[in-house]
Amino acid sequence: MISLLVFPATVPFMRPFICASLAIALAGCARDNSSSHAGASATASSTFTDSAARAPAVTAAAQAIDTAALLQHIKDLAADSMEGRAPGTPGEEKAVAYLTQQFQALGLKPGNPDGTFIQKVDLIGYKAHPAASFSARGKTVSLRYPDDYIANSRHNRDETKIDASDVVFVGYGVVAPEYAWDDYKGLDVHGKTILMLINDPAVPAPNAAKGDTTALDTTMFKGKAMTYYGRWTYKYEIATEKGAAAAIIIHETGPAGYPYEVVRSSNSAEQFDVPSADAERRVPVEGWIRLEKAKELFRDAGLNFDSLKAAAKTKDFKPVPLDAKATFDVKIDHREIQSKNVAAKLDGGDKKDEYVVYTAHWDHLGRDTTLKGDQIFNGAADNASGCSALLEIAKAYTKLPAPPRRSILFLSVTAEEKGLVGSKYYAEHPLYPLAKTAANINMDGINQWGRTSDFTVIGLGNSTLDDALTRVLTADGRTVRPDAEPEKGFYYRSDHFEFAKQGVPALDTDAGIDFIGKPNGYGMRKRDEYTSKDYHKPSDEVKKDWDLSGGAQDVRTLFRVGYVVAQTDSMPQWRAGNEFKAKRDSTLANK
């Protein structure tokens, strides 16, 4: 579920795209944080008609999606025999074979025009073996990898060394001209190790009571909702631009929204990127440090972390050189592999050369042989459940008496957990022209806890796909809800983002939080439990108390939404002011 802690291969060298991404940060995240948009989105475009989704044949086909089949696919894909489904392992071969066989059994056509169900994805794998130390005023901070820190290098070489580089605290590491914000203030950090805080600058609201850290200035970085400046990907990008030798993020569970154990499990395993001629331009060392160890370093340097963090929340903050040195020796096992996206197709009718693409990533974190006890990251919710939904939606389409007007592509991608790599590869090497791709509907986890009266849209208000979803939900007596946790930056963390970057209108949903028959707060409590106990951990397994009735409810909804989009005369559009609209307009103009 949602690539959280690894680095997209191309983003660090797409500086012009940072500004484009920021518009989503400024517009999409703001919309996520505004309850008013639930009502606004309900004023749906007449482009999407109710009748298509409510046609008896469509309703009947949707009923082919059932909880038993969803659960069985999840059990099969999350079984120990799948070994955690990491790219480049026997688990990949087993998962790809399973998906291919299921698509074939449904009678779907191969999704690749070459006559196969496979899109080959060239990757470079990196397994880091780092050693690191910080010293300040004669004291050395002892660091254990990966328990206290993470360090990796994406340069195409066997070893990266940084010897006794000066250490500088750069606050949040943000340069945001539209907010007149610059954490570097002209300081030359070439060859230095920079320490950065996670997330956006948490600027207090002007009228916030003393000591109130929850009231944030909504005119600065959109308050609670994360902008792209808050993502670790941006922080490494700006470090690259500034010429730093190493960029280390200080991990804090509260602002990050996940514990350090997630950092450890996600990044101590082998990482993957698409091969790039620009790899040598990246900041040489990228990593994290546990909060407690960062505080120890600051103390040894004669500084107070909490005071400097408070100062970093203001425009006047200036970078603070520490009387400290950092040394890294990162040895890297690297290999080239050919991973696989799995693709199946249902040919459409009179618009068969246009496509609605459903996506769900098949990969997870594999196996960690250094762990005691359970070593397999089964990834049941993340994302065996999304793949199960993909298969069940495919089954529903085969139950229609006639195909929709547009063709449907069912795409299960690799290496999402490594930085949305499989979807990025598809978006840059599409099997079918993106100008002919009407929409992407992404599934990264489904509801495991029962039926809800609502359905969450990540980035609500970005495109007219919201209209189609709203009409389907309204017909069912349900409502659309904006992202319940906009501070976590989900819009940047799953495969739909790679389609959006290329201009394709993309819909990403999440479970609702108003559970039928459950007390208030139940939905958020279950989300929090999953994040703290199971997310990116071996315990992400099928649970005895799962109730997939809500998952089936949502999957049926996404089937009907895709059908509506496949039937309409015109393709979905980005809303005016959305930064991806310009890319889409350009793509359509040049098709």
pLDDT digits (tens, 9 = 90+) for 492-527: 889 999 999 999 999 999 999 999 999 999 999 999
Same domain, 58 and 117: yes
| Helix-strand-coil split of the chain, %, nearest 5 | 35, 25, 40
Average pLDDT of span 20-35: 38
Average pLDDT of span 210-226: 80
pLDDT in tens, 348-358: 999 999 999 99
pLDDT in tens, 374-396: 999 999 999 999 999 999 999 99
Pick from 285, 304, 334: which residue ends a domain? 334
Measured at the CA of 349, the angle between CA 457 and CA 63, to 5 degrees, comes to 50
Residue 572 has which token pair? 């979905």
Residue 156 φ then ψ, to 5°: -80, 70
d(CA 14, CA 18): 7
Average pLDDT of span 66-87: 97
Measured at the CA of 239, the angle between CA 233 and CA 240, to 5 degrees, comes to 90
47: pLDDT confidence band, cut at 50, 70 and 90?
A: low
pLDDT at 338 over 70: yes
Pick from 334, 354, 384: which residue ends a domain? 334
Find the CATH number of the domain harbouring 477.
Answer: 3.40.630.10
Same domain, 321 and 399: no
Residue 125 φ then ψ, to 5°: -100, 140
d(CA 288, CA 291): 9
Return the SS3 of 161.
strand
Contacts of 417 (CB under 8 A, 6+ apart): 3, 6, 266, 361, 363, 364, 365
Between the two ends of the chain, the Cα-to-Cα distance in Å is: 33
Residue 461 has which token pair? 């208000």
Contacts of 204 (CB under 8 A, 6+ apart): 212, 213, 215, 216, 217, 313
Token pair 């940047």 is found at 492
d(CA 427, CA 433): 9
Does some domain include residue 71? yes
Does some domain include residue 17? no
Beta strands in 203-274 (DSSP E): 246-251, 271-273
Same domain, 389 and 433: yes
What pLDDT score was predicted for residue 61? 97
Same domain, 243 and 271: yes
pLDDT at 5 over 50: no
Residue 447 has which token pair? 């509801």
Same domain, 165 and 177: yes
User: What type of residue is 173?
Assistant: G
Same domain, 269 and 231: yes
Of residues 575 and 578, more confidence is placed in 575
1: pLDDT confidence band, cut at 50, 70 and 90?
A: low
Same domain, 494 and 411: yes
pLDDT at 27 over 50: no
Average pLDDT of span 318-336: 95
Instruction: Give 511's strand partners.
Output: 455
What pLDDT score was predicted for residue 6? 40
Does some domain include residue 106? yes
d(CA 434, CA 122): 20
Contacts of 440 (CB under 8 A, 6+ apart): 357, 358, 359, 495, 496, 499, 500, 504, 505, 506, 507
Does some domain include residue 562? yes
Handedness of CA 167, 169, 174, 180 (dihedral sign): negative
Does some domain include residue 8? no
Average pLDDT of span 251-267: 89
What pLDDT score was predicted for residue 279? 77
Same domain, 107 and 137: no
What pLDDT score was predicted for residue 153? 92
pLDDT at 311 over 60: yes
The domain containing residue 516 runs over which residues?
Answer: 50-124+338-589
pLDDT at 474 over 50: yes
- Number of domains making up the chain: 2
Same domain, 178 and 324: yes
What DSSP character marks residue 254? H
Does some domain include residue 38? no
Q: Is 296 exposed, middle or buried (0-12, 13-18, 19+ CB in 10 A)?
A: buried
Task: List C-alpha distances in Å: 526 to 69, 87, 450, 455, 515.
Answer: 23, 29, 11, 15, 11
Same domain, 391 and 255: no
Average pLDDT of span 530-535: 94
What b-and-e string marks burial along 579-591, b requiring 16 or more CB atoms within 10 Å of the CB?
A: bbbebbeebeeee
Find the CATH number of the domain harbouring 202.
Answer: 3.50.30.30
Return mean pLDDT, the chain: 89
pLDDT at 578 over 90: no
CB of 287 closer than 8 Å to CB of 248:
yes
Pick from 334, 359, 386: which residue ends a domain? 334
Does some domain include residue 509? yes
CB of 247 closer than 8 Å to CB of 285:
yes
Does some domain include residue 13? no
Write a three-state SS string for 303-370: CCHHHHHHHCCCCCCCCEEEEEEEEEEEEEEEEEEEEEEEEEEECCCCEEEEEEEEEEECCCCEECCC
d(CA 473, CA 179): 38
pLDDT at 265 over 90: no
Query: Which helix H or strand E contains 293, and what residues bound it?
Result: helix 291-300
Beta strands in 362-466 (DSSP E): 366-367, 376-377, 406-413, 437-442, 454-457
pLDDT at 100 over 70: yes
Same domain, 156 and 114: no
Of residues 530 and 157, more confidence is placed in 530
pTM: 0.80
Residue 405 φ then ψ, to 5°: -65, -45
Of residues 483 and 344, more confidence is placed in 344
Same domain, 414 and 265: no
